[in-house]
Amino acid sequence: MSVAVENNESTDKENAGQKKAAKKVAKKTTTRKKKADGDYSLVIVESPAKAKTIKKYLGKGFQVVASNGHIKDLPKSKLGVDVKGGFEIDLVPITGKKNVLEKITLLAKSATSIFLAPDPDREGEAIAFHLAEEIGTKKKIKRVLFNAITKKSIQAAMEVPTDLDRRKYDSQKTRRILDRLVGYKISPILWDKVQRGLSAGRVQSVALRIIVEREDAISAFVPEQSFSIHAQLEKDGISFDAAYYGDGPNSRKDLRDIKEVEQILKDLEHKPFHVDDVIRKERKQNPTAPFTTSKLQQEAVNKLGMSTKKTMMIAQKLYEGIDVCGDGPQGLITYMRTDSVRTEPEALSGLRDYIKDKYGADYLAVEPIIYKKKGGAKVQDAHEAIRPTNLSYSPERVRPDLSDDEFKLYSLIWNKFIASQMSPAIIDQTTLLFKIGNHYFRSNGSVIKFPGFRTVYLEFFKDKETNNNASEEEGQKEKMGNALPLIQEKEDLEPIKVPWKEEHWSAPPPRFTEASLVKELEEKGIGRPSTYAAIISNIQDRGYVDKQGNRFFPTEVGMIVTKMLVESFPHEMDVEFTAKLEGQLDLIEEGEVKYTKVLKDFWRDFEKTLERAKDEMKNLKAQEIPTGVTCTKCGQHEFMIKWGRNGQFLACSSYPECTGTEDFKKHLDGSIEIIPKEYANDKCPACGSRLVIKKGKYGRFLACEEYPNCKTTLPYTLDITCPECKVGKFAEKTSRYGKSFYGCSNYPNCENAMWTMPVDQPCPACGYPVMGKRQTKRLGNHLQCPKCKHTLQLDEHEEE
């Protein structure tokens, strides 16, 4: 009886399970059928963050998926450009994008319509074309351009989709081909003649040339002496300065002769300063346009201390969407890659209403200010200037939802935009002209009568004549001048101390900062605002420049490579030629020239130059440069500068009899400083000699001290055993994107890795044998467990 009951219960359970499974199958079949019947439209964007924001606005009936940037590119293993066959390119899927492509093509098969919505620029157009190629042309594909990630902008763009822009894609393709031809054809020559791993770039090498030529100008600069004469005056308890102007009221004179200066000082002895003229006038200071990409990068460097790369990364996040104020993802700014200074009429009207309500009618410009872009560049002018998308999301309102850096950059963009339609600042300027015999002195003063737009935004003032940055307050003070008392003509004032002279020496041109380099690139037409951050990052990553403080110093390698490239490729490395080529890319996009003509014209001359360079470029590997420094090993012969696979080093001139080598640093004055060697605990596995810790292009590594007799190199390892395999040790490594990490030396048998430096400290929470050392603004220096994320604060002693 019990067996029968059990059998019945078992049968009932089986039947119930079968019914449940059947329902699942039916549900899946129905879902597939619905999809097959085409019950959704597919929208493809670049980033997951943007996909999330757009999905919220489009709602049901739409599938939104991200391509995660480019899906195809030229192959890394070969040129990929058929220079003899009309410059056809061989595009291949980017490593790691296989799953993304499969997902997109699968969704595209069942979609009723497909909207390609990568970023509205040349790179975005290229991504759209590559996606269309992968999806195929059986479906009707449309292009949509989102200039801002807001509900209104997205819905408006979806209502008026466009076709793919072949001319814009041709322009991007031309740039990519030109960059590939220069990089893949010149770089191997540098490997052969100078050092393995060096690279040349069509734009980056020209940017490097600008930095190197500035360094040459600094080295060649001869300072000139000059003098100034000053007096300190006082009236009504207010003291102020007056400076020598010249020997006439309208003839400014530079003082360079010390004898003349001494004579003027003698003439001034015991004489009053007679007020010859008082000039009062009112000046208006007008606001400036909202940000373009390059101006945003410059101000972010100057005001916030952000690198151009970081600025663009944060701006991208603000554009794509951030969860704010409980309203879900919101795109806070318009598209951040633009050359335009204009604002859409509707946004302009909303801004003027905002200023009037918040600051009052006196602070609103009388008429709408219509800004016009300076210069002749037309690229990307279709997009607005960078501005907030919604004035209800003030920086103060969204502050809790933004990181510190996001808040700072958003506030900068916000304030710049608000100020752009405010009334001018009104400044009362006073100039006092003093006459003492035949000598004239001047004193300038300014008072802000009405602050206008300065209430919201002040431009960054910087001392252009020196290498020192002036703070905004210092710059404003210098521009505004003295606070002057009320003085009338014909008055006589006695100096409160004896007039004095000051000696000055002219300063060399300053080295470039990121901000001034971006400005220089923009003014010379090198690259485009969207590429500035990558250019600056590349020349640093390649070891061509060092950033000391906030200034760029070309390295020895950077200066040598630049000199060789300019000598062998004078046309391609010419600033004007590079700028003209950028103009050709604009003409391709505008349909005024065929991309194949631009490529043919470039290749015709470049091919001939390449052949000459292969024969005529100096072979530094075969050269030895005397240093005058005695070999530290034999103590008899001279060290010579040689080139190896890891760059320059010192080698004894009597090699192979003496194998003495040293790493060195060359100072700006040409002197050689030997860098003391640091040895690892382990011995060379090949010859048993000591291993030297060296620093190369990709960080620290170990090399046998008997190099070049023994060429053994090993990764630099920490004396911490991997807790996963308990065999290998953590080795310093660099990812394909240049980011340092620590991976097990037992790779590929063990794939354990950490992005933070491992510390031999067990986690007090979970007991994991190692923790990672991190530094953040909120917590400072601390340890974090890679497994449970438990943090442990470090005091100063522990940090050391």
User: Is 538 within 8 Å of 545 (Cβ atoms)?
Assistant: no
Rounded percentage of the chain residues whose pLDDT exceeds 70: 89
pLDDT higher than threshold 50 for residue 279: yes
Find where tokens 């590079």 sit: 578
pLDDT tens digit sequence for 753-794: 999 999 999 999 999 999 999 877 667 788 999 999 898 887
pLDDT higher than threshold 70 for residue 16: no
How is the beta sheet containing 41-45 ordered, strand by strand? Answer: 62-66, 41-45, 113-116, 141-143
Half-sphere exposure of residue 758, counting CA atoms within 13 Å on the CB side?
A: 25
Round to whole Å and give the CA distance between 770 and 762.
5
Half-sphere exposure of residue 169, counting CA atoms within 13 Å on the CB side?
A: 15
User: Is 783 within 8 Å of 761 (Cβ atoms)?
Assistant: yes
pLDDT of res. 520:
95
Nearest Cα neighbor of 784 from 761, 800, 753 is 761
pLDDT tens digit sequence for 71-124: 999 998 899 999 998 999 999 999 888 889 999 999 999 899 999 999 999 999
Angle in degrees, CA 406, 411, 417, rounded to 5: 130
| DSSP string across 648-710 | EEEEETTTTT---EE-EEE-TTS-EEEPPPEEEEEEPTTT-PEEEEEEETTEEEEEETTTTT-
| DSSP string across 710-746 | ---EEE-EEEEE-TTTSSSEEEEEE-TTS-EEEEETT
pLDDT mean across residues, the chain: 87
pLDDT higher than threshold 60 for residue 579: yes
Helices within 275-403 (DSSP H only): 293-299, 308-320, 345-359, 395-398
Of the pLDDT bands very low, low, confident and very high (cuts 50, 70, 90), residue 678 is confident
Round to whole Å and give the CA distance between 246 and 87.
65
pLDDT of res. 128:
96
Coil/strand/helix, residue 547: strand
Cα dist. 68→51, 98, 165, 674, 779 in Å?
10, 12, 21, 47, 32
Find where tokens 């059986």 sit: 138
Round to whole Å and give the CA distance between 472 and 475.
5
Residue 636's DSSP bridge partners are: none
Among the residue ranges 223-227, 561-565, 717-721, the one predicted with the least confidence is 717-721
Round to whole Å and give the CA distance between 170 and 596.
9
pLDDT higher than threshold 60 for residue 380: no
Among the residue ranges 50-64, 321-335, 354-368, 694-708, the one predicted with the least confidence is 694-708
Among the residue ranges 394-398, 615-619, 621-625, 782-786, the one predicted with the least confidence is 621-625
How much is the average pLDDT of 302-330?
A: 91
pLDDT of res. 677:
84
pLDDT tens digit sequence for 166-188: 999 999 999 999 999 999 999 99
Nearest Cα neighbor of 44 from 102, 106, 116 is 116
pLDDT higher than threshold 60 for residue 443: yes
User: Is 392 within 8 Å of 400 (Cβ atoms)?
Assistant: no
Nearest Cα neighbor of 177 from 81, 241, 35, 267 is 81
pLDDT tens digit sequence for 488-497: 999 999 999 9
Q: Which two tokens stand for residue 636?
A: 């008899």
Rounded percentage of the chain residues whose pLDDT exceeds 90: 66
Give residue 342's identity as a one-letter amino acid code: R
Nearest Cα neighbor of 197 from 532, 544, 533, 534 is 544
Its pTM stands at: 0.78
| DSSP string across 100-143 | HHHHHHHHHHH-SEEEE---SSHHHHHHHHHHHHHH-SSS-EEE
Choose between 706 and 129: higher pLDDT: 129
pLDDT of res. 38:
55
pLDDT higher than threshold 70 for residue 314: yes
Residues marked active site are found at 335
Among the residue ranges 409-413, 482-486, 666-670, 689-693, the one predicted with the least confidence is 666-670
pLDDT higher than threshold 90 for residue 517: yes
Q: Which two tokens stand for residue 543?
A: 């070891």
pLDDT of res. 655:
87
How much is the average pLDDT of 469-494?
A: 65
Find where tokens 């020349």 sit: 539
User: Is 350 within 8 Å of 365 (Cβ atoms)?
Assistant: no
Using a 10 angstrom Cβ sphere, with 0-12 exposed, 13-18 middle and 19 or more buried, the burial of residue 289 is buried
The CA radius of gyration of the chain, in Å to the nearest whole number, is 33
Torsion-angle region of 690 (φ positive above 0: left; ψ -120 to 50: alpha; else: beta): beta
Among the residue ranges 137-141, 324-328, 561-565, 721-725, the one predicted with the least confidence is 137-141
Of the pLDDT bands very low, low, confident and very high (cuts 50, 70, 90), residue 671 is confident
pLDDT of res. 27:
45
How much is the average pLDDT of 648-663?
A: 88
Where b means 16+ CB within 10 Å and e means fewer, 29-57 reads eeeeeebeeeebbbbbbbbebbbbbbbbb
Half-sphere exposure of residue 20, counting CA atoms within 13 Å on the CB side?
A: 6
8-state DSSP, 65: E
pLDDT higher than threshold 60 for residue 198: yes
Of the pLDDT bands very low, low, confident and very high (cuts 50, 70, 90), residue 526 is very high
pLDDT of res. 472:
36
Of the pLDDT bands very low, low, confident and very high (cuts 50, 70, 90), residue 796 is very low
pLDDT of res. 197:
79
User: Is 285 within 8 Å of 425 (Cβ atoms)?
Assistant: yes
How is the beta sheet containing 717-721 ordered, strand by strand? Answer: 717-721, 729-734, 740-744, 753-754
User: Is 576 within 8 Å of 206 (Cβ atoms)?
Assistant: no
Q: Which two tokens stand for residue 100?
A: 């993304």
Find where tokens 């980033």 sit: 47
Cis status, amide bond into 748, omega within 30 of 0: yes
